[in-house]
Amino acid sequence: MEVCNENKRELDRQNEYIEKSRVYVTAFQVEHGRLPKACVVTFGCQMNARDSEKLTGILSKVGYELTDSEEEADFILYNTCTVRDNANQRVYGRLGHLNSLKKKKPHLKIALCGCMMQEQAVVEKIQKSYRFVDLIFGTHNLFRFAELLSAMLASEDMIVDIWEETDKIVENLPVKRKYSYKSGVNIMFGCNNFCSYCIVPYVRGRERSREPEEILEEIERLVEDGVVEVMLLGQNVNSYGKNLENPITFAELLRRVEKIEGLRRIRFMTSHPKDLSEELIEVMRQSPKICRHLHLPLQAGSDRILHAMNRRYTKAQYLALVDKIKHAIPDISITTDIIVGFPGETLADVEETIDVVRRVQFDNAFTFIYSPRTGTPAAAMEDQVPEEVVHEGFDKLLAVVQETAKERAALLQGKVMEVLVEEVNEQDPAFVTGRLSNNMLVHFKADRRLVGKLVMVVLDTCHGFYYTGRMVDWLSQTKHTRLGKMVDNQWLN
């Protein structure tokens, strides 16, 4: 009850700041004859993408018009990532450009938030060398964005507000979704795993799960608003609910989400192999809504490296887990993340990783070159791997990853499968792009009004990582369904 009241008070506070900032928008409109435009640029993972929807939600409420063009914007907000150093370098590179934009347009306001801002050294560098930035805040006080925005609009000085930690989860802030038909839903924040290479636990804080009722309510509202697919988000969804006052498993949460009428597809990210339960496999197996896709980061195949990474599973355990999953759900697509070049990793270790790739036959694997992150145990390890060795291992691994992914993709040739139409094709507007339950993309000719609908498609031609296909006409689609009910043809209504 106390938590509810606290949440309500915070929401009321933020709404007051939204109203305050609207005064600025009105003044801007009088002066410039138009609404101010805001551009939010997102770096990093789905978690950040969802945060950006919250940020744009607040900006819209304040009255900003949203734009993708930095050149046109009167306010630019970078929601940053710091998982690898190249993410940081991209931000610094683009800041140089923003400086020149601001010289041409002095009223331009620039703000930085997200994971990178939780690093003290980064904030110090910006305060010193990027004086033109107007506002810096972090991941823990994102819910105070309305307040910070209003302070920024009233000030000429750089405002910096970074919290070390938070135990708060503030619910029900305004959100502006990027897609009308699908949405990310945070089920937990932070991470307790402390993989030795990873900075996420330091910049996102300790693991905090949302109450299941809050999650279910949010999804119900989303479905009422036209959402047919949700992606449940957390750094390690398999440990969801363990620390709640009334503990609940992730599998149980899925069972409850599954019951929401009108919701058609459920995805989730990310699963840590060490916490993936039998119960979860069983729920996935039985579910018509949970997508046939599991992202199961491997990181490395060598036991020595896995141990040094603090992943808390062995190669054999990972392989046994995959066997169990594939046995229970034969049509599942398994994707993964792999790091090459962790301190002490030899080419023989990389061969172990390649062996896992061959045995599991991943449908896709994101391969990363190890990037030392300040403050993590791995960054202080002595045996950092020379660049040439890293590249040799990386190239070898990538070749096998691509080969196995292609083989897996080819297996779907000629099949008729359900696709969620996601967008009008970028290259040819007569085509649309859709996604299979197993996460693969399919391009096919169709009316753009089908965006957000589920249709059946024949997978005609495999192009390595995606298909081109043909939509099954509605008459034959009705034949696929019991009693001729147009279950899959909701797009006709």
Residues 95-154 that bind ligand SAH (CB under 6 A): none
Instruction: Tell me the two tokens of residue 403.
Output: 């080969």
Q: 191, 298, 385, 457: which one contacts ligand SF4 (CB under 6 A)?
A: 191
**How many residues would you count in the chain?**
493
CB 44 → ligand SAH: shortest distance, Å?
A: 9
Binding mask 223-262 for ligand SF4 (x = CB under 6 A): ------------xx--------------------------
Residue 251 site contact among ligand SAH, ligand F3S, ligand SF4, none (CB < 5 to 8 Å, cut-off depends on kind): none
Residues 174-203 that bind ligand F3S (CB under 6 A): 200, 203
Residues 188-247 that bind ligand SAH (CB under 6 A): 197-198, 200, 235-236
Residue 436 site contact among ligand F3S, ligand SF4, ligand SAH, none (CB < 5 to 8 Å, cut-off depends on kind): none
**337 is a contact residue toward ligand SAH (CB under 6 A):** yes
Pick the stretch among 6-14, 240-248, 364-372, 456-464 that binds ligand SAH (CB under 6 A): 364-372
**297 is a contact residue toward ligand SAH (CB under 6 A):** yes
**339 is a contact residue toward ligand SF4 (CB under 6 A):** no
Pick the stretch among 77-85, 161-169, 264-272, 413-421 that binds ligand F3S (CB under 6 A): 77-85
Classify residue 104 by burial, with Cβ atoms within 10 Å: 0-12, 13-18, 19+: exposed
**115 is a contact residue toward ligand F3S (CB under 6 A):** yes
Residue 371 site contact among ligand SF4, ligand F3S, ligand SAH, none (CB < 5 to 8 Å, cut-off depends on kind): ligand SAH
Q: Which residue is nearest to ligand SAH (CB)?
A: 337
Binding mask 202-231 for ligand F3S (x = CB under 6 A): -xx---------------------------
Q: Left if phi > 0, otherwise alpha if psi is -120 to 50, otherwise beta: which for 107?
A: alpha
Residue closer to ligand SAH (CB basis): 170 or 309: 309
Residue closer to ligand SF4 (CB basis): 37 or 274: 274
**40 is a contact residue toward ligand SAH (CB under 6 A):** no
Classify residue 326 by burial, with Cβ atoms within 10 Å: 0-12, 13-18, 19+: middle
Residue 81 site contact among ligand F3S, ligand SAH, ligand SF4, none (CB < 5 to 8 Å, cut-off depends on kind): ligand F3S
**112 is a contact residue toward ligand F3S (CB under 6 A):** no
**88 is a contact residue toward ligand SAH (CB under 6 A):** no
Measure the CA–CA gap between 72 and 64, rounded to whole angstroms: 12
Q: 66, 71, 180, 194: which one contacts ligand SF4 (CB under 6 A)?
A: 194
**251 is a contact residue toward ligand SAH (CB under 6 A):** no
Residue 194 site contact among ligand F3S, ligand SAH, ligand SF4, none (CB < 5 to 8 Å, cut-off depends on kind): ligand SF4
Residue 84 site contact among ligand SAH, ligand F3S, ligand SF4, none (CB < 5 to 8 Å, cut-off depends on kind): ligand SAH
Q: Show the 3-state SS of the chain.
A: CHHHHHHHHHHHHHHHHHHHHHHHHHHHHHHHCCCCEEEEEECCCHHHHHHHHHHHHHHHHHCCEECCCCCCCCEEEEEECCCCHHHHHHHHHHHHHHHHHHHHCCCCEEEEEEHHHHCHHHHHHHHHHCCCCCEEECCCCHHHHHHHHHHHHCCCCCEEECCCCCCCCCCCCCCCCCCCCEEEEECEECCCCCCCCCCHHHHHCCCEECCHHHHHHHHHHHHHCCCCEEEEECCCHHHCCCCCCCCCCHHHHHHHHHCCCCCCEEEEECCCHHHCCHHHHHHHHHCCCECCEEECCCECCCHHHHHHCCCCCCHHHHHHHHHHHHHHCCCCEEEEEEEECCCCCCHHHHHHHHHHHHHHCCCEEEEEECCCCCCCHHHHCCCCCCHHHHHHHHHHHHHHHHHHHHHHHHCCCCCEEEEEEEEECCCCCCEEEEEECCCCEEEEECCHHHCCCEEEEEEEEECCCEEEEEECCHHHHHHHCHHHCCHHHHHHC
Q: 10, 14, 36, 48: which one contacts ligand F3S (CB under 6 A)?
A: 48
**47 is a contact residue toward ligand F3S (CB under 6 A):** yes
CB 431 → ligand SAH: shortest distance, Å?
A: 31
Residues at the contact surface with ligand SAH, assessed by CB under 6 A: 83-84, 197-198, 200, 235-236, 270, 272, 297, 299, 337, 339, 368, 370-371, 373
